[in-house]
A and B are shown apart, each in its own frame.
Chain A
Amino acid sequence: MTDKKEVFGMRFGQTAGGCAAAVLVAAMLAACTSSSTSSQSSSTSAPAGSNGTVIKIGVELPLSGGDAANGIPTNNGVLLAVEEANKAGVPGGFTFADDSLDDAVQGAHDPAQGAQNTKNFISDSAVLAMVGPFNSNVAKAEIPLTNDAELAEISPSNTNPGLTLGDDAKKLRTSHPDIDSYFRVCTTDDKQGAAGAQFARKLGFKKVFIVDDNETYGKGLADVFDAAFRKAGGSVLGHEHLTKNQQDFKALLTKAHSLGPDFIYYGGTTVTGGGLLRKQMADAGMGSIPYVGGDGISDDTFLKQAGSMANNSYYTVAAPEASKLASAKGFIAAYKAKFKSDVGPYSANAYTAAKIEIAAILKALQADGNKLPTRAEVRKNVAATKNFVSPIGNVGFDANGDTTAPILSIYKISGGKAQFVDQINLKT
């Protein structure tokens, strides 16, 4: 199911970008203007001085092809953090530099290339920490390597739960099963179901009919929603799974309609049925009933496929909407001043990831009397991060490497456009 997971990692990226066309356009512009700098940054960003005085942050993102619209603004977040750290001054005569490598092969992110880039970082003793990757399936290929080298790696955008939780995660930690070198500052897909349930109850909905596409992501999402909605005092009238490639949902919707739900919850992506299901609700006499889903339906295809029926739909996205956070104002202004473009959906996450690593390195420097710290020390400091003040809130990591500030955004589609309506913090 690797490619399935890849889709989610990507979709997630497209998603938040799709919320505002302007953001996307800006991202493209950024792609044009900064591609020349980022592709050379591995050599140019090291300032004058002996090589031993440079501490590198490896950045592993898709920087060309279709993913570049997400990769470049994300990379910019790291560039900004590195610049600020150097401006603030580093003890011991060290300077920070970024080392950005592209994991896109023939225009699309590639796990094998990601692993190769990671190996390059590991063989370069100046690299003490890593930001990336962008896509969950690339992370799968990299985690065993960074685990072996005890190289701290923080992803700005991976949402697949299996990277940090359960047996799936244990299998990835091949060399040091007890040591976690992989962290992420965004939250996971499984939190979306819970956030959706919480929000639906907030809207006053009591009865739900749940449909999912019977795939890893969709069923997982719907199952979490099912349990969370019951727990929150709602009642689940039915929970049905679609057949792959099904196109006609009238029979299913007739069944749902006869039970009289307040809304329909859909777990899955637009392509696996989310768009058509919503569209056909009109034919089944459910035109005025709201529709709630996860980030799988947060794309332009959903808007196009469902047409006017897309309105009155809600969806969750497993990331905070940076433009709505007071804490992100300073970051957004600095970003705009430096790159002359709007922030991408994951710029703030990447900036935060780099900041956490830089703080961890500085702490290790201090403890070692300004001698170059080891990767293991840096990793330990990253793992110990608690309440780190950042544009996306106060971030810390739990024992699995997941963020302790799971903030999700809720969007509503009205007038054919998705608009941010609410933010849910699932901090327990």
Chain B
Amino acid sequence: MDIFLQQLVNGLSLGGIYALIALGYTMVYGIIELINFAHGDIYTLGTFVSLAVLLGLGVSGEVHGFTLVWVVLLTIVTAMLLCGIVGVLIERLAYRRLRNAPRLAPLITAIGVSFILENAMQLWRGPTPIAFPAVIPNPSLQFGGVEIAAKQILVVVLAFVMMAGLQLFIYRTKMGKAMRATAQDRDAAQLMGININTTIALTFLIGSALAGAAGFISGVYYQSTWFFNGFEAGLKAFTAAVLGGIGNVAGAMLGGFVIGLVEAFATQFIPQGAQWTNVVVFSVLVLVLVFRPSGLLGEALPEKV
């Protein structure tokens, strides 16, 4: 039983990481129906930027008290800001001109942007894994035979907070309304006086900023990164978004947790399970899509007729 609960904890915290990335992924898709393959790399960029800020501040290990608060805030805000700006630039330079092109063109462009980001990061920090300082103290809590690290709780809580924030933004603010209008019918939205370019740029700003925050969290969580991280993470996050219903913010989070849990339990309960995790994850994806083609919670584009 302890093992089961321990793997539950492992799965939830891993799922939290996937969920954090999947949120931005699914949001961009929800608004402009573009699978932004560069999203995973922006997430890695978030880790790289955070690392640069921390090294610049001279932080190489745990910090406590007030210092912890401002170091974390400064790092996360810088990472979100820079990633947001890069996201907007990518949209402006690579995707905007292709907005009315056939669907395949922006998709291929997104893959190209992903390669550019990966290689730029490889040039920046080299091809080998880089250590990330363990900024946040990480006491571990014992519940019977189950051990929960503070950062595992942090990841799960943050995933919920970010999801709730994003939901509020999309459904409770004027700008969120403009986004939903743009998603529903771009031309009609424009006729209603909504600035499409600004709205889409804002979408990329927020989505990429979320990726930047996720990048910081994953850096702290794994204490390691490398330029290629975003590929696998992006793939899993995309899967999570599809599993939950692409475009659906709550679905992305649910999908992330499902994938994390499936991975943990597959590793534990299948003999030599570690090598089969991806097989199991994608089998679950296929099964879900067979019976619910629009994902667990359904695509969040029901207004589209």
Contacts and interface: CB of A to CB of B under 8 A. Distances in A.
A107 to B, nearest CB: 14
A245 interface: yes
Contact of B14 (A242, A251, A271): A251
Contacts of A214: 275
A181 interface: no
Contact of B7 (A245, A251, A280): A251
Interface string A63-86: 000000000000000000000000
Interface in A128-178: none
A248 interface: yes
B14 A305 contact: no
A279 B224 contact: yes
Contact of B223 (A238, A242, A252, A307): A307
Interface in B151-174: none
Contact of B224 (A211, A245, A251, A275): A275
A247 interface: yes
A240 B272 contact: yes
Contacts of B140: 283
B7 to A, nearest CB: 6
Interface in B25-70: none
Contact of A243 (B13, B14, B147, B275): B275
A275 B277 contact: no
Interface in B70-118: none
Contact of B267 (A245, A255, A283): A255
Contacts of A258: 3
Given A251-B11, A251-B267, A270-B129, A243 B228 contact: no
Nearest to B232: A245
Given A258-B3, A279-B224, A304-B131, A247 B277 contact: no
Interface in A229-283: 238-243, 245-248, 250-252, 254-255, 258, 270-271, 275-276, 279-280, 283
Given A251-B7, A251-B10, A240 B224 contact: no
B149 A305 contact: no
A275 B129 CA distance: 9
A285 interface: yes
Nearest to B265: A251
Nearest to B269: A255
A206 to B, nearest CB: 22
B128 A243 contact: no
B131 A305 contact: yes
A214 B272 CA distance: 12
Given A275-B224, A307-B223, A241 B3 contact: no
Interface string B213-255: 0000000001110101101110000000000000000000000
A55 to B, nearest CB: 43
A80 B275 CA distance: 49
A394 interface: no
A271 B222 contact: no
A284 to B, nearest CB: 8
A246 to B, nearest CB: 8
A248 B131 CA distance: 15
Given A247-B233, A279-B223, A254 B7 contact: yes
B273 interface: yes
A43 interface: no
B263 A251 contact: yes
Contacts of B128: 270-271, 301
A241 B275 contact: yes
B7 A247 contact: no
A305 B274 contact: no
Interface string B268-280: 1000111101100
B206 interface: no
Nearest to A214: B275
Given A250-B14, A254-B6, A304-B131, A276 B272 contact: no
Contacts of A276: 129, 222, 224
A283 to B, nearest CB: 6
Nearest to B13: A250
B135 interface: no
Contacts of A240: 272-275
B274 A248 contact: no
B5 to A, nearest CB: 10
Contact of A247 (B3, B131, B222): B222
B274 A301 contact: no
Interface in A269-314: 270-271, 275-276, 279-280, 283, 285, 301, 304-305, 307
B17 interface: yes
Contacts of A247: 222, 229, 232-233
A255 B3 CA distance: 8
A280 B222 CA distance: 8
Interface of B: 3, 6-7, 10-11, 13-14, 17, 128-131, 134, 140, 147, 149, 222-224, 226, 228-229, 231-233, 263-265, 267-268, 272-275, 277-278
8 contacts: A211-B274, A238-B272, A240-B275, A251-B7, A270-B129, A304-B131, A305-B129, A307-B223
Given A241-B272, A279-B223, 20 more contacts: A211-B274, A239-B272, A240-B273, A240-B274, A242-B275, A243-B277, A243-B278, A246-B277, A248-B17, A250-B13, A251-B10, A251-B264, A251-B265, A255-B3, A255-B268, A270-B128, A271-B128, A276-B129, A304-B130, A305-B129
Q: Which 7 pairs of residues, A with B, have the shortest CB-CB distance? A: A245-B232, A241-B275, A251-B267, A251-B264, A240-B274, A250-B10, A304-B131
Interface of A: 211, 214, 238-243, 245-248, 250-252, 254-255, 258, 270-271, 275-276, 279-280, 283, 285, 301, 304-305, 307
